[in-house]
Chain A
Amino acid sequence: MTRRRRRMPRSPSDLVGGAVLYVLAGIALLGLVGPSLVVIAISFTEKRYISFPPEGFTLTWYRAILDHQQLLDSAVVSARISLVVMVVCLALGLPAAFSLVRGRYPGRSALGAFLVAPQMMPGMVIGVAILFFGAYFAFRQSELMVIIALAVFCLPFVVRVIMARLTGIDPTLEEASSNLGASRSQTFARITLPQLLPGVLAGAAFALIEAFDNVTVSLFTASPRARPLAVELYQLIQFDSSPIVAAISALEILLALVVVLVLARTIGLEGLRD
């Protein structure tokens, strides 16, 4: 909406309405951004417990992460899990998105609804269901079980983002390519994939982050011996009040910010609006 709005004389009720609008939006923005800033500030405190305002400036808590072997191990577990989940979701989601956008078979929209259905499913229910499924087939909680469950949870994100991108691609370019004698694989590699790449990357980034951060699914499916970072943090938060959790949180916030900025620069966040 770049058009300029006509200036109208404002009545008192308009002024009040405008003020209410800005106050509410201000509270919302403060609520969205504020807590992250508080956590970052706390992570530098010299006190041994959490207090506000933080006192002094120290990197002790960041150094403490490096000495916390359990946390480091769980970060490795999480990294491994989320990478595999990302690969599985792309391998399943990319062809599925193609089929849903380009296919010409009956029941296509119903199939699409089925493939994105897990998104409306509470993570906890997916976690419990997979746990029961594993128990029924004598298959224990493990990294593999976390991966299987998280792939169910993340697949809809990947399918939706790639579908949205694919719908926007003009098929005449591909037709021109094949009319000019390119093989199907050449057309896919040279014409389709480059246009699709932003969607694939966004889907991959989402799957990776969702899988890394997820706790509702992982809590039910992870074995106590190899816990993902999110589950480890969940336990730590309840029993440890030292600012080490704030330091880890600050690092995660930073990571999320980097990903958002990269996404904003490369593909734009507008595509993720819905």
Chain B
Amino acid sequence: MSAHASVAARGGARRASPWRALHASIFARGLGPALPAVAYLVVFLVVPLALLFSFAFLSVERGVVQPGTFSLAHFAEALGDLLFWKVAWRSFWVGVVATLLCLLLGYPLAYLYTQWGDLGRRLLLIAVVAPLLTSAIVRTYAWMVILGGRYGLMNSLLIDLGLITRPLRILNTDLAVIIGMTQIHLPFMVLPLIAALAARDPDQEDASLSLGASRVETFWRVTVPQSIPGITAGCAIVFALSYTNFIIPQLLGGGNYATLALQVYEFVIVILDWTKGAVRASLLLGSCFVFVFVITWAGNRAMAWSEKRAS
């Protein structure tokens, strides 16, 4: 892209009609190459999502929309159902606990990454990224093996240690789902935290230490505030993933375990009631965006507050 062309294009756009401006954007300013990808996402993401939402308002039988059946009754039915709220509440609090546990375990790991030498960093990064590239099914299966049954690793270990005498039932409980979600989503917390912590200014910590603050004080008052963007990004992604995951609750929660995401799966694939599935999928997606927005907003507020306090 030569400077002349873009200056000329800019000058041309000022007096041109919107249509000519678009033409200039595509041919002279490099919008063109992005168009295939944009078109692909419009056709295969925007249109399908629009259909998904519209299915929630219409009666659908085996994929055939029944014309003239627009109604809000399906939403009202879901929102008036006590079971729906119970299930949604469980999706929410399990997601929150998994997110907080990821933060609790991921932060020390990311912090130590910035303290370690080259070899330690490389090994730690491999330990974080390798699970990310291993299928979620395989990793959930590993937890089924560890937590499951009388002969599972956890029960054998606890009995051998003499902590319990009879095997505990861990699989098919909230605890199993939370453990699985925490481990499977941990890399998504650690990576943004590492990025944020590696970008922090080490002079501030040195200054704090040489002014007589303890390491613990320095950690809370200097290190943590600088990493708020990483905490926000990590929490947003881990919550979104945990809140909408249905594989982990299905495999670790057992047959009667219900979350919002699992209900979508059941209505769409098992019961074939697509309208109810569409209602729940729309509510799941909508509420997920709201929660992610709240997390991001809170993160920005925390950042502004800590900057104000510092100055």
Are A and B physically bound partners?
A: yes
| Interface 9-mer from A58-66, A112-120, A193-201 | A112-120
Partner of A115, one of B38, B106, B131, B215: B38
Given the complex of chains A and B, what is the CA–CA distance between A125 and B10 in angstroms?
Answer: 40
B198 touches A273 (CB 8 A): yes
Summed over the interface, the residue pairs from A and B with CB atoms below 8 Å come to a total of 304
| Interface 9-mer from B68-76, B78-86, B145-153, B162-170 | B145-153
Closest 3 CB pairs of A and B: A135-B63, A95-B33, A103-B30
Give 9 CB contacts A-B under 8 Å: A8-B215, A17-B215, A51-B152, A103-B31, A106-B25, A111-B34, A130-B48, A234-B137, A253-B134
Given the complex of chains A and B, what is the CA–CA distance between A96 and B38 in angstroms?
Answer: 8
Main secondary structure on chain A at its contact with chain B? helix
Among B45, B49, B122, B244, the one with the most A-chain Cβ atoms within 10 Å of its Cβ is B45
Point out the residues of chain B lying under 8 angstroms from A155, CB to CB. 37, 40-41
A52 touches B156 (CB 8 A): yes
Smallest beta-carbon distance A139→chain B, Å: 10
Tell me, yes or no, whether A85 is within 8 Å of chain B by CB.
no
Point out the residues of chain A lying under 8 angstroms from B49, CB to CB. 125, 129
A246 touches B145 (CB 8 A): yes
Point out the residues of chain A lying under 8 angstroms from B32, CB to CB. 99
Interface residues of A in 28-50 (CB under 8 A from B): 28-29, 31-36, 38-39, 42, 49-50
Question: Size class of A's contact patch?
Answer: 35 or more
Tell me, yes or no, whether A87 is within 8 Å of chain B by CB.
no
Interface residues of A in 69-123 (CB under 8 A from B): 91-93, 95-96, 98-100, 102-106, 111, 114-115, 117-118, 120-123
Given contacts A10-B214, A260-B126, 20 further A-B contacts (CB under 8 A): A24-B107, A24-B109, A32-B183, A91-B36, A92-B36, A92-B37, A95-B37, A103-B33, A104-B6, A104-B29, A105-B30, A115-B34, A122-B285, A126-B45, A129-B52, A213-B133, A213-B137, A233-B138, A237-B140, A252-B135
Contacts known (A25-B112, A103-B31); A215 close to B45, Cβ less than 8 A: no
Smallest beta-carbon distance B180→chain A, Å: 9
A28 touches B37 (CB 8 A): no
Smallest beta-carbon distance B306→chain A, Å: 20
Given the complex of chains A and B, what is the CA–CA distance between A8 and B182 in angstroms?
Answer: 35
Given the complex of chains A and B, what is the CA–CA distance between A28 and B127 in angstroms?
Answer: 10
B146 touches A35 (CB 8 A): yes
Residues of A within 8 A of B (CB): 1, 3, 5-6, 8, 10-11, 13-14, 16-18, 20-22, 24-25, 27-29, 31-36, 38-39, 42, 49-53, 91-93, 95-96, 98-100, 102-106, 111, 114-115, 117-118, 120-126, 128-136, 148-149, 151-152, 155, 159, 209, 212-213, 215-216, 219-220, 230, 233-234, 237-238, 245-246, 248-249, 252-253, 256-257, 259-261, 263-264, 269-270, 272-274
Interface residues of B in 76-111 (CB under 8 A from A): 104-109, 111
Among A42, A93, A96, A104, the one with the most B-chain Cβ atoms within 10 Å of its Cβ is A104
Interface residues of B in 177-213 (CB under 8 A from A): 182-183, 186-187, 190-192, 194-195, 198, 202, 206, 209-210
Residue of B nearest to A100 (CB): B34
Among A102, A125, A212, A257, the one with the most B-chain Cβ atoms within 10 Å of its Cβ is A125
